[in-house]
Structures are given as structure tokens and as C-alpha cells.
């Protein structure tokens, strides 16, 4: 596969973070080779793989640019390394456990070209095994600080086949204007992994850079191919820590009287649930302790975010209401699966 298609000046850099992805990368990269949009360059950021990923890339995909991190730095530092190397006007992020429809990138680029007020786009991510199930149609954020994928693990009956403005994009398959990173910054490397895309979503919304869900931008997502579908103790700890940190980092002061009590009540609910049924109360507690340790960082970042933003509070309230409804549906699906 030629890593730079459509001439010497591509419009898009596709960045794929990868850890021990020897078995996953061929499917991902071969699907990119079938893209009808030609003007892109591919960068794989290898996060200290112990398998033969790098040998595979150099032997089978020599035109792909490889950035070797040397160790597993987590998602945020890895993708930031790729973004810093990108010189294109558009940047796509793609997980190594995905395969993309031939029109995936063309559809995303067209959405940004025809919607100049949009800063980034979310893909329609379909479950890799059961292709009648939607894995994600963008990110949602609720007033209690919960963030969930929009329509996570819902049957696809065509109800999400329309363009829609959403809170944000899952960074596993998204397209961003480079100008967005120039304005709001890169992914927060203190987050390491988990919720770093939601934090970026929030900062973009506060800066007035909207996100569009593009249903024609289809990719198939294995989900948990690297870390496992069920949340590990590490995932619970980091998700809890980062979720609380991003709330205090980003939530506008005018919305805190309504949202802060909901956040605290939800944390108590989660702790009770994990203690009685979930069995992961200890990593959740460690996540809360980690959030307390991250609070000075979050508040420092908050001051900078406030200086550079004039949020549309009515718009944000609408997105939070949509997030509340999505979290309610998510909990119903979890109960139906006995989780």
C-alpha cells in the first residue's frame, strides 16, 4: 500500500496508534488501501509493541510512516506524536482494530468541506462480528459527568442514518481539522488512555467547534481487541480518574449548580453498584484518589480554557440533555444484559 496517495501533497494524515497489532494491522491497512479518496498519508504510531508489528510494517507496508514510541505510552501520547508530525489540513484517527468502508474517508472529507462551521466528524462504527449492531455513532456527555458512545450496542434499524450534530467523536474513527488542534490543543497526555477524546470533545464545544456525526462514514470495529471488551481494573481506574478530571477541567461555572450534585450522586451510585454487584469497587476508589491527585492539573487547565472560550450555554445544555437520555438508554441495555 502506498502511504501517500493522490500526489505529493495529501489533504489528510491518517494516524493509527498500535500496540501489539501484528494480527490487526493488515485488515486495517488493507482497507485503507481500498479507499476511493486518494489524497492521504498513513502514519502508524507503534506503542512499544513486543510482537512483530514493526517487522510487518517494514516488510509488507514500507510506504507507511512508522513512529516508534519505544514503550507503551498510552493512547493520548501516541496520537499526539502522530499529530505533531502531520502537516496536512485534516487529521484522521483510526484504531488498529477497525476496517473501513471504501467511502469512509471520502465521506468524512466531504462532510467537512460542505460544513465549514464544523470542526470534526464522527464515524458510524459497526460491530465487527455482528454487523447489524451499532458500536458508536459519536460521543455523548451527560449532566452527571457520564460519557457514553451514542447508541452503543444498539440494533441498526436505520434510525441513525441521518447527519446529526453530536457532542463529540470517538477517536477510534474520526476526522479533525488541524485548526481544531491549533485552537484547543492536543489530547491531554496526563489522561494517558480513556476519556481523552471526551475531554477534547468538551474543549472543542467550549471553543465553538461543532462535531457532526456522518452516517455514511462506516467502519467496522472489533472493540477491545487490544485491551479486552470487558472493562479491566485498569480501565475502571483510568476511566473514573479521567472522567472526574475532565468534568472539573471543562464544565462551565454557570452549569455547576445543576451538574456538580449529579456528578457526586452518580459517583456514590457507581461505588455502591461496584461494591454490591460489579466487584470493581477497589479500582473505582483508586480512580477517585487519582482524580483528587489530578485536580490541580485540571484546575490549571481550566483557567486556560476559560480564557480562550465563550461557550454557547444553551447549545451545551441541549447536548447535556441528549446525553442524559442516552445514558438512561445505556443503563437499560446494561440491565437487559445483566451487567
Residue in this structure with the C-alpha cell 491518517, named with its chain if needed: 14
pLDDT in tens, 17-68: 999 999 999 999 999 999 999 999 999 999 999 999 999 999 999 999 999 9
pLDDT band at 279 (very low <50, low <70, confident <90, very high): confident
pLDDT in tens, 283-319: 999 999 999 999 999 999 999 998 877 899 999 999 9
Percent of the chain whose pLDDT exceeds 90: 83
Start-end of H helices in the chain: 25-33, 53-60, 75-85, 104-114, 178-184, 196-206, 233-250, 256-273, 281-307, 313-336
Contact, 54 vs 78, CB < 8 A? no
State how far the Cα of 316 lies from the Cα of 77, in Å rounded to an integer.
Answer: 28
Distances (CA, A) of 311 to 177, 186, 205, 207, 316: 19, 19, 7, 6, 8
User: Domains in the chain, please, with CATH?
Assistant: 12-221 (3.90.550.10), 233-336 (no CATH)
pLDDT band at 218 (very low <50, low <70, confident <90, very high): very high
Q: For the whole model, what pTM was predicted? A: 0.93
Amino acid at each position: 500500500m502506498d502511504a501517500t496517495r493522490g500526489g505529493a501533497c495529501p489533504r489528510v494524515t491518517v494516524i493509527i496508534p498500535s500496540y501489539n497489532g501484528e494480527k490487526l494491522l493488515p485488515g486495517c491497512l488493507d482497507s485503507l488501501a481500498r479507499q476511493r479518496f486518494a489524497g492521504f498519508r498513513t502514519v502508524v504510531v507503534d506503542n512499544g509493541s513486543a510482537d512483530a508489528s514493526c517487522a510487518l510494517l517494514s516488510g509488507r507496508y514500507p510506504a507507511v510512516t512508522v513512529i516508534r514510541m519505544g514503550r507503551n505510552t498510552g493512547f493520548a501520547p501516541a496520537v499526539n506524536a502522530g499529530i505533531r508530525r502531520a502537516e496536512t489540513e485534516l487529521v484522521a484517527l483510526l484504531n488498529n482494530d477497525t476496517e473501513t468502508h471504501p467511502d469512509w474517508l471520502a465521506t468524512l472529507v466531504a462532510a467537512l468541506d460542505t460544513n465549514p462551521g464544523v470542526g470534526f466528524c464522527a464515524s458510524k462504527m459497526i460491530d465487527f462480528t455482528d454487523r447489524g449492531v451499532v458500536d458508536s455513532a459519536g460521543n455523548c456527555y451527560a449532566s452527571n459527568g457520564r460519557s457514553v458512545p451514542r447508541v452503543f450496542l444498539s440494533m441498526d434499524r436505520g434510525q441513525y442514518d441521518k447527519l446529526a450534530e453530536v457532542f463529540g467523536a470517538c477517536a477510534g474513527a474520526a476526522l479533525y481539522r488541524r485548526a481544531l488542534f491549533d485552537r484547543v490543543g492536543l489530547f491531554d497526555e496526563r489522561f494517558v488512555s480513556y476519556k481523552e477524546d471526551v475531554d477534547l470533545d468538551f474543549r472543542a464545544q467550549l471553543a465553538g467547534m461543532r462535531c457532526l456525526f456522518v452516517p455514511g462514514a462506516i467502519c467496522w470495529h472489533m472493540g477491545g481487541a487490544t485491551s479486552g471488551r470487558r472493562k479491566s481494573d485498569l480501565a475502571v481506574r483510568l476511566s473514573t480518574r479521567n472522567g472526574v478530571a475532565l468534568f472539573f477541567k471543562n464544565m462551565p461555572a454557570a452549569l455547576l449548580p445543576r451538574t456538580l450534585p449529579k456528578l457526586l450522586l452518580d459517583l456514590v451510585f457507581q461505588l455502591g453498584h461496584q461494591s454490591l454487584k460489579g466487584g470493581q469497587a477497589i479500582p473505582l476508589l483508586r480512580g477517585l484518589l487519582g482524580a483528587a491527585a489530578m485536580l490541580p492539573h485540571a484546575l490549571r487547565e481550566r483557567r486556560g480554557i476559560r480564557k480562550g472560550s465563550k461557550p454557547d450555554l444553551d447549545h451545551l445544555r441541549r447536548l447535556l440533555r441528549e446525553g442524559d437520555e442516552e445514558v438512561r438508554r445505556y443503563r437499560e441495555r446494561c440491565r437487559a444484559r445483566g451487567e
